[in-house]
Amino acid sequence: MLTLHHLNDSRSQRILWLLEELGTPYEMKRYQRDAVTRLAPPELAKVHPLGKSPVITDGDITIAESGAIVDYIIRKYGKGAMMPAPGSAEYEAYNEWLHYSEGSAMLPLMMNLYVSRLKEAGAPLHPRIDSEMKNHLGYVDGALKGREFFVGTSLTGADIQMSFVAEMAKVFDKLGPYPNLSAWLTRMHARPAFQRSVEKGGAYRFAK
């Protein structure tokens, strides 16, 4: 059976949401961050050498990257749901969002997280970081204008993958200028499967 190795306050929450949306049978093994360092416990390194989450194991298969995990689960267990038909124009947009989330959008958000911890020492970096956050959040907000979902007319893996971007923007109080993204996140939070995932995995509690 597919096992999700779930770390609190991490990207694995969106994998849990995906599994709940699909109704896929799974097991969840919990891991807890160190209360002081906020690092993942060493036990995760026994599952994958990077010691990060999310990680899934499915028989002899182990996958540690969010986009790859979303892609794998939908292809293997989705029964044609939650992704456009391969080869279609919508599929190419879908695939781009899967990669864009971690490949581009998350970088300035994570830089903001770490540089903020430097206090005054990080001040010279904030104008550039703020500019990049505005660039990417503005792009995402524009893509959602007049749309309920990122691709097509129903939930796809693109929405699952992009959810962490919106969650982090919310943590930093950056959603105000982006009404389309903010409204999209509110809709995602209202989904029963999302709410079940929070009940099972715990709500995000990030330290700014």
Per-residue model confidence as pLDDT tens for the chain (208 residues): 999 999 988 899 999 999 999 999 999 999 999 888 888 999 999 999 999 999 999 999 999 999 999 999 999 999 999 999 999 999 999 999 999 999 999 999 999 988 988 888 889 999 999 999 999 999 999 999 999 999 999 999 999 999 999 999 999 999 999 999 999 999 999 999 999 999 999 877 655 4
In this predicted structure, what is the pLDDT of residue 48?
96
Going 170 to 176 to 181 to 183, the CA torsion angle's sign is positive
**Which pair of tokens denotes residue 206?**
């990030």
Report which of 7, 40, 3 is spatially closest to residue 19, judged by C-alpha positions: 3
Q: What is the dihedral of CA 117, 121, 122, 126, to 10 degrees?
A: 130
Distances (CA, A) of 70 to 39, 66, 98: 23, 6, 8
In this predicted structure, what is the pLDDT of residue 206?
59
In this predicted structure, what is the pLDDT of residue 34?
87
Give the whole-angstrom CA distance, residue 198 versus residue 44. Answer: 21
Residue owning tokens 């995602």: 188
pTM to 2 decimals? 0.93
Q: Which domains does the chain have, with CATH numbers?
A: 3-82+194-201 (3.40.30.10), 89-191 (1.20.1050.10)
In this predicted structure, what is the pLDDT of residue 51?
93
Report which of 10, 146, 144, 17 is spatially closest to residue 82, judged by C-alpha positions: 17
